[in-house]
Amino acid sequence: MDIRYENDVERFLGFDPATLYEAAGHRGMVDPTIRPAWAGAQICGPAATVECPPGDNLMLHHAVACARPGVVIVATLGSYVLTGAWGEILTVAAQARGVAGLVVDGAVRDIEAITEHRFPVFSRGLAIGSCTKERLGRLNVPIVLGGVTVSPGDMVIGNADGIVVLERARVDEIYAAAMARRTREAELMEQLRAGKTTIELLHLPGLANTEAAGQ
């Protein structure tokens, strides 16, 4: 993996997707129905993008074969969820190549085996149906994943809360904003423990009258 990407992975690993989404100006949130396939799965790395025809995973095999270590394979099958586009065989192949994880707008299978391998997988669903391996798609082009445009090299960060995509050209700006948010949140926590309320600290609207307060 390029040294630039290694630095980005180190910088963003400690942040949750929600903080990064807000730091990015509320941009990059992937459809929250694309979920981790097993509890505890986390991803952080540059995107290697894949566009597959619905029900065919040939291009996922090609993506793994040419993947660089540390990338997150980000794929779309057009939200098609009746076939499992990824299973244990591709998981073992991806781990051997050093792939950091998979996000797919489609379905996967072999979840128990994938969990045992501890390979991070995020998908729209699970399906035992088998894919064909006949139709070509595209590699390393901009794709739409869960409503978000993902270009090769964009940073993809995900955990149990969801997935955010950070545009490559904005990573420094987003990192600076995320650090500022982290500092501000630490200050808020300290003041809350000292007895302040979220109403005071966040300057939230007050109750209009005592009746609204339940009195």
Give me the phi and psi of 77, to 5 degrees please.
-115, 30
Interval 153-201: pLDDT, tens: 999 999 999 999 999 999 999 999 999 999 998 999 999 999 989 999 8
Segment of 90-94, 184-188, 209-213 carrying the highest mean pLDDT: 90-94
Is the pLDDT assigned to residue 3 strictly greater than 70?
no
Four-CA torsion 208, 213, 214, 215, nearest 10 degrees: -80
Q: Under a CB-based contact definition with an 8 Å cutoff, are residues 53 and 122 in contact?
A: no
Domains along the chain with CATH numbers:
3-168 (3.50.30.40)
Distance between CA atoms of 82 and 109, rounded to whole angstroms? 11
Interval 170-183: pLDDT, tens: 999 999 999 999 99
Interval 12-60: pLDDT, tens: 998 999 999 999 999 999 999 999 999 999 999 999 999 999 999 999 9
44, HSE (Cβ side, Cα atoms, 13 Å): 17
Q: How many CB atoms lie within 10 A of CB 23?
A: 24
Distance between CA atoms of 101 and 27, rounded to whole angstroms? 22
Is the pLDDT assigned to residue 214 strictly greater than 90?
no
Is the pLDDT assigned to residue 210 strictly greater than 60?
no
pLDDT band at residue 208 under the 50/70/90 scheme: confident
